[in-house]
Copies of this chain bind each other. A is one copy, B any other.
């Protein structure tokens, strides 16, 4: 693939590397991004942007063989190639979906423009129930175009996606991932394919039954294709996402948002801009607020480093003083949006053991270099944690706040935990890392890597103690994963997997740690493309994220069914569920694709 590599290097790789030097450290919103486009950056609203040039050449022969414009329903688990015509036979005119009341359903249509450019728009109708004349209003249907973003690939050994990256060393392609609801019509160039995405929110109060409507794909004023959508709404009801049990913990990065939107940190504009983005987390039942209680808890691993939401001040007399103003404002913002179960406070063991504080004597920011086990560490953190506990209690947040750590050497963690419990024995602790049996009884919110399993008894005993047990994926997992090139169903698989393993939920370290131009180029200087963010600026969701949501809904539905079956003493049903879920293992996934496993399971569930 030398040609592709070359092209990418020449057009974007080199520019990105150069630009990275200028921008990677920048906290200020100055300067423009490498595309020269204001891709939804402030001031709002900037609704449209141009995708990057396709580094993959157009296979001209394929288009010559099929010169007509093609349109129809595709599948949501597929990323359609921009440069390739879609196979006519793979599309349908009618789409049949099933869903519970309260469920959010997805559909993907595809258009391949033949000999001429199209001015594409979509017109959805209400969905009608012919039996009782009731409708699902088309206001419940969000129509969007799927947009192409630059991605790369797994490491060459296919074993993962970790490590520093230079774009020239990886094949780079455009991939369909962004779900862009900000444009109402879209110019589709001839000989390119363009998918679109529909999200149908079935209202809680819908009368069960069959609903039908049309989706008109138009080229200007001309009807290109009239598609039919049928939804069978079941009696069962999925509650509001805030009431879901699935413990979803995607780490939010408000610092990336401030940089991207070119707003002052924690200004009204900053919060306003973040609302749409956090909205998707809320709608997926996001449970945890990510709070940074020190500067750079993960040093500079993301394009925009996290800073401290707590002001650490060393007073002239040597005592510590803490201000929680920023922390409060951020937490209150998140709670107001609906994320209110948990606050995760990072981190007592940062990647670089250097703690920034404002030194009143010198009137400058200084760094305390100390590590768990040392007197300085104990004294400064004890002061902080005591002040933090008092503040949290005043706010009524103490019980939902977790002192959070990622995997560090066991000795460091034990020293840190001593300090935590000494400051307040009731402080909860959150930990993401390997499975350490000695920590199972100690950690209140434990997330282990997908590669490991909790012992069955542990899961049960932790549940009884009210402790949360989840799993996480990272760059070390080639699949399932949420890279921009990952098969969409891989993130849907998570919910099913959690259900099978009786886990409480899923954690990922990056919800929106955007790269420089997240809408255009999902590649980063480290890890495979898309690793650092799930959603796109301007409140745009992604195929990966919508599939994650689908999996979470499956998880919730499974819990609902199980409890229904238990109530009804439907032992057979319960056994069937377990049987269906048993295919959601890493072992099975290594044999077939996530979409096949999920489709099979979905069918089996329908027969329950």
Q: Give Cα A317 to B266, complex, Å.
A: 9
A362 contacts chain B at the CB level, 8 A cutoff: yes
Chain B residues contacting A325 (CB-CB under 8 Å) are 315-317, 360
Q: Residue of B at shortest CB range from A267?
A: B361
What's the number of copies of this chain in the assembled complex? 2
A27 contacts chain B at the CB level, 8 A cutoff: yes
A302 contacts chain B at the CB level, 8 A cutoff: no
Task: Give A227 Cβ to nearest chain B Cβ, in Å.
Answer: 49
Q: Give Cα A499 to B323, complex, Å.
A: 55
A159 contacts chain B at the CB level, 8 A cutoff: no
A365 contacts chain B at the CB level, 8 A cutoff: yes
Given contacts A325-B316, A326-B316, A329-B316, contact A264 B361 (CB under 8 A): yes
A71-88 vs B, Cβ < 8 Å mask (1 yes, 0 no): 000000000000000000
Given contacts A316-B329, A329-B316, contact A265 B323 (CB under 8 A): no
Report which of B266, B307, B363, B365 forms a contact with A316, defined as CB distance below 8 A.
B266
A230-272 vs B, Cβ < 8 Å mask (1 yes, 0 no): 0000000000000000000000000000000000111100000
Q: Give Cα A264 to B308, complex, Å.
A: 25
A339-380 vs B, Cβ < 8 Å mask (1 yes, 0 no): 000000000000000001010111111000000000000000
A295 contacts chain B at the CB level, 8 A cutoff: yes
A523 contacts chain B at the CB level, 8 A cutoff: no
A501 contacts chain B at the CB level, 8 A cutoff: no
A54-94 vs B, Cβ < 8 Å mask (1 yes, 0 no): 00000000000000000000000000000000000000000
Chain B residues contacting A311 (CB-CB under 8 Å) are 360, 363
Contact check, B362 vs A365: say whether CB atoms are below 8 A apart: no
Q: Give Cα A356 to B358, complex, Å.
A: 13
Chain B residues contacting A358 (CB-CB under 8 Å) are 358
A296-338 vs B, Cβ < 8 Å mask (1 yes, 0 no): 0000000000011101000111000001011001000000000
Task: Give A299 Cβ to nearest chain B Cβ, in Å.
Answer: 15
Contact check, B365 vs A364: say whether CB atoms are below 8 A apart: yes
Q: Which of A264, A329, A358, A362 has the most CB of B within 10 A?
A: A362
Total chain A interface residues with beta-carbon distance under 8 A: 25
Q: Residue of B at shortest CB range from A358?
A: B358
Q: Give Cα A448 to B365, complex, Å.
A: 38
Contact check, A362 vs B265: say whether CB atoms are below 8 A apart: yes
Contact check, A360 vs B326: say whether CB atoms are below 8 A apart: yes
Chain B residues contacting A309 (CB-CB under 8 Å) are 363
Task: Give A365 Cβ to nearest chain B Cβ, in Å.
Answer: 6
Chain B residues contacting A360 (CB-CB under 8 Å) are 311, 323, 325-326
- Chain A contact residues, majority secondary structure: loop
Q: Give Cα A325 to B326, complex, Å.
A: 24
Contact check, B266 vs A361: say whether CB atoms are below 8 A apart: yes
A278-297 vs B, Cβ < 8 Å mask (1 yes, 0 no): 00000000000000000100
Chain B residues contacting A365 (CB-CB under 8 Å) are 364-365
Contact check, B307 vs A363: say whether CB atoms are below 8 A apart: yes
8 A Cβ contacts from A400-446 to B: none
Chain B residues contacting A264 (CB-CB under 8 Å) are 361
Q: Give Cα A361 to B361, complex, Å.
A: 21
Chain B residues contacting A267 (CB-CB under 8 Å) are 361
Contact check, A361 vs B316: say whether CB atoms are below 8 A apart: no
Task: Give A523 Cβ to nearest chain B Cβ, in Å.
Answer: 28
Chain B residues contacting A326 (CB-CB under 8 Å) are 316, 360-361, 363
Chain B residues contacting A315 (CB-CB under 8 Å) are 325
Task: Give A606 Cβ to nearest chain B Cβ, in Å.
Answer: 52
Q: Residue of B at shortest CB range from A27?
A: B362
Q: Give Cα A358 to B295, complex, Å.
A: 15
Q: Residue of B at shortest CB range from A265?
A: B361
Task: Give A126 Cβ to nearest chain B Cβ, in Å.
Answer: 46
Q: Give Cα A27 to B359, complex, Å.
A: 13
Task: Give A186 Cβ to nearest chain B Cβ, in Å.
Answer: 38
Contact check, B266 vs A363: say whether CB atoms are below 8 A apart: no
Chain B residues contacting A317 (CB-CB under 8 Å) are 325
Q: Residue of B at shortest CB range from A364?
A: B365
Q: Give Cα A329 to B360, complex, Å.
A: 12
Q: Give Cα A362 to B308, complex, Å.
A: 8
Q: Give Cα A323 to B27, complex, Å.
A: 27
Chain B residues contacting A323 (CB-CB under 8 Å) are 360
**Could you list some 21 contacts between A and B, CB below 8 A?**
A27-B364, A264-B361, A265-B361, A265-B362, A266-B316, A266-B361, A295-B363, A307-B362, A307-B364, A308-B363, A309-B363, A315-B325, A316-B325, A316-B329, A317-B325, A323-B360, A325-B360, A326-B360, A326-B363, A356-B363, A365-B365
Q: Which residues does A use to contact B, with CB under 8 Å?
A: 27, 264-267, 295, 307-309, 311, 315-317, 323, 325-326, 329, 356, 358, 360-365
Considering the complex of A and B, which 8 residue pairs feature the smallest CB-CB distances, nearest first? A316-B325, A265-B361, A266-B361, A308-B363, A307-B363, A265-B362, A316-B326, A358-B358
A267-B361, A326-B363, A365-B365 given. 6 additional CB < 8 A pairs? A266-B316, A266-B361, A295-B363, A307-B363, A311-B360, A325-B360
